Structure 1
């Protein structure tokens, strides 16, 4: 990102998309009482947020 790569923003968008998809799947399992999946979903959402912040701050 700091070097202005042509692919930086695309890569961050893809990362956010993948993290959100993972979080959605983990949330389904968390709803069935699997605590470790709730923790995974939370981590994935945080990763997606970080990627989105990279995009907006660039």
Structure 2
């Protein structure tokens, strides 16, 4: 992102999509009592949020 690559925004968008998909899957497992999956879902959402912030700052 700091070098202004033409692929930076696309890469961050893809990363956010992957992190959101992972969070959704982890939520399903967390609903079955797997606390470590809740932690994973939270971390994935934080990553997606960071990616979305970088996208908005570079558009």
TM-score (ref. length: structure 1): 0.97
Map of 1:51 onto structure 2:
51
Unmatched 5+ stretches in structure 2: none
Secondary structure of 2:18's match?
helix
TM-score (norm 2): 0.95
Q: Distance in 1 between matches of 2:47 and 2:4?
A: 21
Q: Which 4+ stretches in 1 moved above 2 angstroms?
A: none
Cα RMSD (Å):
0.5
Q: Deviations over 1:23-47 (max 9, x none)?
A: 0000000011100000000000000
Distance 1:24 1:51 in 2: 17
Question: What is the Cα deviation at residue 56 of structure 1?
Answer: 0.3
